[in-house]
Amino acid sequence: MPPRRRLAPLALLALALPALADALDAPGQPARQNAPLGQYDIVGNTLVSAQQLFLGTEQNLFVIDKVENNAAQLDGHPAWASRYALASNKGTAMDAITNTFCAGGGVLANGSWLVVGGNQAVTTGGDPASSQNGGAAPYHDPDGGKSLRLLTPCDDDSCQWELVGQMSTRRWYASVETLDDGRVIIMGGDANGGFVNDAGQTNPTYEFFPAAAGDQPVTSPLLQRTLPANLFPLMWVLPSARLFVQANFGTAILDYKAQQEFQLPDMPHAVRTYPASGGTAMLPLTPANNWTATILFCSGMNVSPSDWDPNAAWPTKATSKSCVRITPDVSQNYEEDDDVPSPRSMGNMILLPTGKILYLNGAQTGVAGYGTGSNTVGDSYADNPAFQPWLYDPDAPSGKRWSMDGLSPSTIARMYHSSATLLPDGSVAVAGSSPHPDVVLTGTKFPTEYRIEIIYPSYYNTRRPEPQGIPASIGYGGAFFNLTLSAADLGNDVTNLNRTSVVLVRTGYSTHALNMQQRMLVLENTYTGAADASGTLHVAPVPPNPALFPPGPALLFVVVDGTPSVARLVNVGSGAIGTQPTRPPVPLPGSRVLAAAGSSSSSAPAAGATGDGTKVHAASAAPRAWGLSGLWAAVLAPLAFAGVLLPL
Ligand SMILES: [Cu+2]
């Protein structure tokens, strides 16, 4: 037996390389071969209409509908939730328990998904049911207004939705965002719904899940001052660990820890929130932009607060082409961005692993919502489906950010209550549409839709890299991990290592033209190339600031020269709700390419590397936003002093 002290180096090695111990199998090639590039392909039926949709595992989508007369049955009544298996294109009904009509949803640090709020119990036609506790035929749906439903996703029938308590107040059309401690914040909504919010039923507050003992909803001045078009407020956690919140024309920074809001300038050009329903996304957080958050808003409709008349001729009203960006941790001002080539409402912006954004779904005229009046198109407040998807490149020069990129139009109108999400193979699933109080299948321009289709971006059929060594879990700071790529993965060109990135994508919860929690972060990496054109990526974990990418599941893609691997679903953070451990960043080794035996090796510094090939891990090289109070002391103090940024 060796002396005990000899074990120490081995133990240290084990500590230094935790990723190797729990590496996932390398992703392979997509199951679909020779997909129709740039085109939509109808692949299956979601059983219930996909008003809400999220990718819960690598293999399964989870679908949530409102209570309505779906043919799929469960426990003797129509189902309003399902699990959709991507491999078999088969749906299975699930029990969402209470009425999930226009609920919000989000993911927690432990990988469970929460669906919040909804509507009262209804009977046919969306009318109130005689019983609010599930006793009324035909739907037997309990009131969902305060519901908190939790699911830990799996790939079979062993996981089911369960009620885990109630919110303190009713929320219909509330938004959900995952916080840097892996809880979620639940914000806004109203008690009973309707076309837009109103003073008699608004819930201008936020609360948290899990709630701490004694928690009470906190009032948001932004939601108080932005009636009526402030349902489904748009919100993102910023790297400064504050929330950027946008509703109607209002904008605010919410320091949810201090329960204090700061007013920012109004949204230009158009309302982006429901029911104007613009497309929105946080652009990728990258080493090149120092993981600085910029948020993009496009389309919607310019409607003044007094003009939200449910009897107006909404389906004929023009939508907006305008786009603006804001980088809230740097500047409080919205900046003009390129107009979308065609106008739209109810569009979803989907972050692709390449960092570009696919913009699809919705309508060219009108807004979200439905009614029964003669001002509708078969109940719909919108018309002229926006069949043509567009691609946005955040890094393209101004004037050149939008392109059609070979994308063909869909044949299915994705009107109100549509959804979309990125899939692990880099394609995008599109589903839903039902601008009706209850299921309408025939005799109407925009019937209730059950068909799910997939659109295949231009990279789809290219041979995918198959990176080895993807860790099951990635933390904040600490030691780097290695991913290996074969010569085939690198296209037999070792210089492709210089065009390789490792990205995390949280696909989020899709509903009402939103993808709540959606964000992308590019990890910092260097590389070592081998003479045989294979290579190793040295990949830094997420920088030591959980607000950059709140903890929870994420897709990890390795993108080689614009071609993404199939993703693996990894865990970011501790896997538990609570303050996330952070570690000081460990400098990455320099990038280099090893020469063949007999010749000398050469350094091939990556962008940002120093001249001697030693790349300084940027997160350790300069003061960054992780010193949250430091950044905000610098940004907020002068603004507040100038009287522009007003604590409310
Ligand atoms: Cu809705």
pLDDT at position 14:
37
Q: Which two tokens stand for residue 392?
A: 């946005």
Instruction: Calculate how far, in angstroms, residue 249's C-alpha sits from the geometric centre of ligand 1.
Output: 20
Q: Give the type of residue at 41.
A: D
Instruction: Tell me the pLDDT band of 194, cut-offs 50, 70 and 90.
Output: confident
Instruction: Calculate how far, in angstroms, residue 137's C-alpha sits from the geometric centre of ligand 1.
Output: 23
Instruction: Calculate how far, in angstroms, residue 291's C-alpha sits from the geometric centre of ligand 1.
Output: 33
Instruction: Calculate how far, in angstroms, residue 436's C-alpha sits from the geometric centre of ligand 1.
Output: 10
Instruction: Tell me the pLDDT band of 596, cut-offs 50, 70 and 90.
Output: confident
If one counts every other C-beta atom within 10 angstroms of the C-beta of residue 647, the result is 13
* 263-310: pLDDT as tens digits: 999 999 999 999 999 999 999 999 999 999 999 999 999 999 999 999
Instruction: Calculate how far, in angstroms, residue 605's C-alpha sits from the geometric centre of ligand 1.
Output: 51
List, in order of start, the domains of the chain with CATH numbers.
462-616 (2.60.40.10)
Q: Give the type of residue at 119.
A: N
Q: Give the Å distances, CA to CA, from 351 to 47, 280, 282, 402.
A: 26, 10, 9, 14
Instruction: Calculate how far, in angstroms, residue 425's C-alpha sits from the geometric centre of ligand 1.
Output: 29
Instruction: Calculate how far, in angstroms, residue 368's C-alpha sits from the geometric centre of ligand 1.
Output: 8
- Check pLDDT > 70 for residue 450: yes
pLDDT at position 598:
58
* 82-128: pLDDT as tens digits: 999 999 999 999 999 999 999 999 999 999 999 999 999 999 999 99
Q: Which of 236, 249, 315, 308 is nearest to 278 (CA)?
A: 249
Average pLDDT, the chain: 91
pTM of the model: 0.92
Instruction: Calculate how far, in angstroms, residue 512's C-alpha sits from the geometric centre of ligand 1.
Output: 6
Instruction: Calculate how far, in angstroms, residue 205's C-alpha sits from the geometric centre of ligand 1.
Output: 20
155: buried, middle or exposed (CB in 10 Å: 19+, 13-18, 0-12)?
Answer: middle
**Distance between CA atoms of 579 and 185, rounded to whole angstroms?**
15
- Check pLDDT > 90 for residue 590: yes
Instruction: Calculate how far, in angstroms, residue 49's C-alpha sits from the geometric centre of ligand 1.
Output: 12
387 contacts: CB under 8 Å, gap ≥ 6: 409, 410, 411, 413
Instruction: Calculate how far, in angstroms, residue 141's C-alpha sits from the geometric centre of ligand 1.
Output: 17
* 619-645: pLDDT as tens digits: 333 334 333 333 343 333 333 333 333
* 514-572: pLDDT as tens digits: 999 999 999 999 999 999 999 999 999 999 999 999 999 999 999 999 999 999 999 99
Q: Give the Å distances, CA to CA, from 622 to 575, 614, 628.
A: 29, 16, 14
Instruction: Calculate how far, in angstroms, residue 523's C-alpha sits from the geometric centre of ligand 1.
Output: 36
Beta-strand ranges (E) seen in 456-610 are: 473-474, 476-478, 481-485, 500-506, 509-511, 514-516, 519-523, 525-529, 535-539, 552-560, 563-564, 568-572, 582-585, 592-593, 602-603
Instruction: Calculate how far, in angstroms, residue 417's C-alpha sits from the geometric centre of ligand 1.
Output: 6
* 214-245: pLDDT as tens digits: 999 999 999 999 999 999 999 999 999 999 99
For a pLDDT cut of 90, what percent of the chain falls above it?
A: 88
Q: Give the Å distances, CA to CA, from 403 to 109, 361, 368, 626.
A: 36, 16, 26, 35
* 361-414: pLDDT as tens digits: 999 999 999 999 999 999 999 999 999 999 999 999 999 999 999 999 999 999
Map tokens 């231009």 to a residue.
458
The DSSP symbol for 495 reads G
Strands 205-209, 104-107: parallel, antiparallel or unpaired by DSSP? Answer: unpaired
pLDDT at position 602:
54
